[in-house]
Amino acid sequence: MTRFVSGVVLALAAVAAIVWLPLVALRVLAAVVAGAAAVEYASAAGVTRDVSRALVVVMAAVTCWWLGMPAFASMAAATAIALAWLAVEVLLFGHDIARAAAAVAGAVYVGGPLGLLVAIHARTSWKVTLLLIATVVVSDTAQYYSGRAFGRHPLAPVVSPKKTIEGAIGGLVAAALFMALAGSRILVGEAPVPLALLGLSMAAVGICGDLFESSLKRRAGLKDSSALIPGHGGVLDRIDALLFVTPLFYLYLRDLP
């Protein structure tokens, strides 16, 4: 019951923010979410130095803020700062390349996609933004129930023992159908077949995002990224698939007239 109530509250809050918040406020909210998710990422990635953890959080939020502006300059600025930060981690703190890269990756992994989510909203409309999120939710839900009903063969037993091939297939099919039907109404002029292929690709990439975060948690010995959301774990647990899907969706929209 706690999980259900938390899920409903989160969904309503997300929809309300996307539909009614002005763009600047939405960028602020996305940056806050990026910072919260970056805290969890830092713990899972083994970024233990206080200064490095703080930089992970700050840079994830800053990257999200900049990429929320649909302009090439924002990407250039984020890249320049990421390179400068990498140099500081290696030359000033004396970290090896792998550890320094893990810290810098937090900004890319968390801040980048959330910034692109805001950029999608700015470039299109709240309906397109909700289409993206709804496709991820539909796929995740279909994976869960298909896995429970038909799951027999593990998809990635070492990383996520509960995920099954049957569940993944259910998520792929559901996302393709949903995007073909809902996408053709929102992305006017787009044919159902390309949209179905987009939905299929989004589901596949989302599964990769889910497994990626599961791998981070398993390596760190964590069940959930945090206990921030009752019944759901942490922020990163809720947006792991969305983080991987958003750049793909952004690239698709960029090629539209």
* pLDDT in the model for residue 131: 96
Q: Is 30 helix (H, G, I), strand (E, B) or coil?
A: helix
Q: Is 163 helix (H, G, I), strand (E, B) or coil?
A: strand
pLDDT higher than threshold 90 for residue 197? yes
Residues in the chain: 257
Domain boundary among 56, 91, 123: 123
Instruction: Tell me if 15 is assigned to some domain.
Output: no
Window from 108-112, 169-173, 206-210 with minimum mean pLDDT: 108-112
Is 161 in the same domain as 98?
A: no
Is 73 in the same domain as 173?
A: no
Is 29 in the same domain as 155?
A: no
Average pLDDT in the 244-253 region? 92
pLDDT higher than threshold 80 for residue 184? yes
Structural domains in the chain (count): 2
DSSP assignment letter at 90: I
Given pLDDT bands bounded at 50, 70 and 90, which one contains residue 194?
very high
* pLDDT in the model for residue 87: 80
Tell me how far apart the alpha carbons of residues 124 and 41 are, in angstroms, rounded to a whole number: 30
Choose from 40-49, 53-62, 127-136 the range with maximum mean pLDDT. Answer: 127-136
Instruction: Tell me if 4 is assigned to some domain.
Output: no
Is 235 in the same domain as 131?
A: yes
Instruction: Tell me if 27 is assigned to some domain.
Output: yes
CA neighbor of 59 nearest in space, from 37, 44, 81: 81
Domain boundary among 103, 123, 143: 123
Domain boundary among 77, 104, 123: 123
Average pLDDT in the 15-20 region? 86
Is 257 in the same domain as 130?
A: yes
CA neighbor of 15 nearest in space, from 180, 129, 144: 129
Name beta bridge partners: 160: 156
Question: pLDDT higher for 232 or 168?
Answer: 168
Is 105 in the same domain as 206?
A: no
Range of the structural domain that residue 86 is part of: 21-123
Average pLDDT over all residues of the chain: 83
Instruction: Tell me if 142 is assigned to some domain.
Output: yes
Contact 113, 61 (CB under 8 A): no
Is 255 in the same domain as 152?
A: yes
pLDDT higher than threshold 80 for residue 66? no
Is 27 in the same domain as 68?
A: yes
Instruction: Tell me if 8 is assigned to some domain.
Output: no
DSSP assignment letter at 230: T
Instruction: Tell me if 109 is assigned to some domain.
Output: yes
Is 117 in the same domain as 182?
A: no
Is 32 in the same domain as 67?
A: yes
* pLDDT in the model for residue 257: 61
Instruction: Tell me if 117 is assigned to some domain.
Output: yes
Return the residue matching tokens 């939905």.
199
Alpha helices in the chain (DSSP H): 2-20, 23-45, 50-67, 72-87, 97-106, 112-123, 126-150, 165-186, 192-220, 235-254
Question: pLDDT higher for 201 or 123?
Answer: 201
Task: At 90, give phi and psi (nearest 5°).
Answer: -85, -50
Is 224 in the same domain as 131?
A: yes
Question: What pTM did the predictor assign?
Answer: 0.87
Given pLDDT bands bounded at 50, 70 and 90, which one contains residue 76?
low
Instruction: Tell me if 238 is assigned to some domain.
Output: yes
Is 146 in the same domain as 241?
A: yes
